[in-house]
Structure 1
């Protein structure tokens, strides 16, 4: 069983840790043996493999709305770096290598950021919505997620949740990255853009994919920890179906363990889900 509790670290420890892990990532990017995706194509590839959209503005408890609106500004900048990117066979998509460091000079503004379980504004805040979207879409394709980090905190009770808990990917420049490897024989293309109300994404390809996927929560449970708080856990699986609807594979994807920032007994315990 995973044991976690809120961490207390000094500002010096946090700053030095960030510098170390960022340097480590830079060395990997520029001296490693991975071939990274970098080519953009304005013309869309013909076949949509999977598409998804998420609302841009949501009313969240104890979160000022200006951070939501600023998040939209940040997403507009970041999606332009990713929209149309081609992922050739043998290449790796790196979220942060393509977007780059979010700075005020590039037009990024302060948006919502989760920092050790607390919400605070930071430049480029809100970009996790984009990494969440890409991760969720990738799970519905033959592409392989080679690097993904789960959220360590569950900060809001379930309200109109349409995806399993823990089906996103947190991101922190540049060491908490989202990376996707193309181990197929086809070229894939990522499309991401904003409408008035939604962040929209697509994975496209040169040829249609004969499989369909269902990502689901196989097991979910909540534990009360020795330090007095609660933790939320689940296990996510993915079923692959052929064109006749027959199950080809039913594979383990990941598991999540997050410190809950609300009391499930007071604010509504999330529904337990278990599938055979």
Structure 2
């Protein structure tokens, strides 16, 4: 069983928080500048021929105590961000950086208030909802030979598993500029990201110039809930990736990540009586 104590959230002073943002942002800008030739930046509208993995996620979900206006605004934000990523080619040896390509979401660029999380609380914020796009890209990447070099897990489990189709903790949170998602191409072939907002779903694909050599399956192990000493509840699991050849024969299983999140809803629901 994988359990790790999750500390009670400590709210930092606004001054300390701003200082931390400035410090970590400066470090991230320095990385982008120093390694600028290593980051993917070529956009090609003609698609590479081979689909490595395709995935879609629902745009609108009825979430408890969340204004649907913010959900609709999220769609606008996703369209703007997806337009910056759609068609990007990651050449061998290059790294895809989510935020380097999208840039900072601002009202001036057309971004609207969507849902953001602040210490587990749902609140409006400019560009809110873009985690759905980083979640999609991370999940798709796990089904390709591309290597995730930076991913940040969600520190809070905010909503119950209503309609969940993927394992808990299989997403990637994002916070501009240093809460980034980075993916490196260590293969000898070009890969291309295709993302767009459809009528009901956010749609994505990783494509390549060569057909896939393997199939992948992401599985959850050691899932558990814990009661913390300070009164809260936490959730834990491990994710593994199984690799198969195209005939479905098992090749190997690799550890992906370990998740520990503070739950923002009651983990246990009483059974109905009578």
- The answer to whether the superposition gives a TM-score over 0.5 is yes
1:85-234 aligned within 5 A: 85-234=88-237
Aligned to 1:58: 61
2:261 is paired with a residue whose SS is strand
Aligned to 1:262: 265
Aligned to 1:271: none
Shift in Å, 1:33: 7.2
Question: d(CA) in 2 for partners of 1:2 and 1:14?
Answer: 25
Aligned to 2:4: 2
* Residue 84 (str. 1) matches residue 87 (str. 2): yes
2:16 is paired with a residue whose SS is helix
Aligned residues: CA RMSD: 1.2
Question: d(CA) in 2 for partners of 1:207 and 1:72?
Answer: 32
1:7-86 aligned within 5 A: 7-32=10-35, 35-86=38-89
Shift in Å, 1:263: 1.1
Seen in structure 2, the aligned counterparts of structure 1 residues 168 and 232 have a Cα distance that, compared at 3 Å, is: same
Shift in Å, 1:7: 2.1
Displaced runs of 4 or more, over 6 A: none
Deviation by residue 1:106-164 (Cα, 9 ceiling, x = unmatched): 10011000111101111000000000000000000000000000000001111111000
Question: Relative to structure 2, which stretch is displaced further, 251-260 or 31-40?
Answer: 31-40
Return 5+ residue gaps in structure 2 as ranges: none
Shift in Å, 1:218: 1.6
Question: d(CA) in 1 for partners of 2:148 and 2:172?
Answer: 11
Seen in structure 2, the aligned counterparts of structure 1 residues 267 and 208 have a Cα distance that, compared at 3 Å, is: farther
Seen in structure 2, the aligned counterparts of structure 1 residues 267 and 7 have a Cα distance that, compared at 3 Å, is: farther
Shift in Å, 1:32: 3.5
Question: Relative to structure 2, which stretch is displaced further, 33-42 or 251-260?
Answer: 33-42
Question: d(CA) in 2 for partners of 1:19 and 1:120?
Answer: 22
Question: d(CA) in 2 for partners of 1:162 and 1:7?
Answer: 32
Shift in Å, 1:266: 3.2
Deviation by residue 1:7-60 (Cα, 9 ceiling, x = unmatched): 211111111111111111001110247600000001010000000000110000
Aligned to 2:252: 249
Question: d(CA) in 2 for partners of 1:122 and 1:84?
Answer: 27
1:209 is paired with a residue whose SS is coil
Question: d(CA) in 2 for partners of 1:25 and 1:205?
Answer: 29
Question: d(CA) in 2 for partners of 1:24 and 1:267?
Answer: 48
Shift in Å, 1:248: 1.0
**May I ask how many residue pairs the two structures share in their alignment?**
268
Aligned to 1:272: none
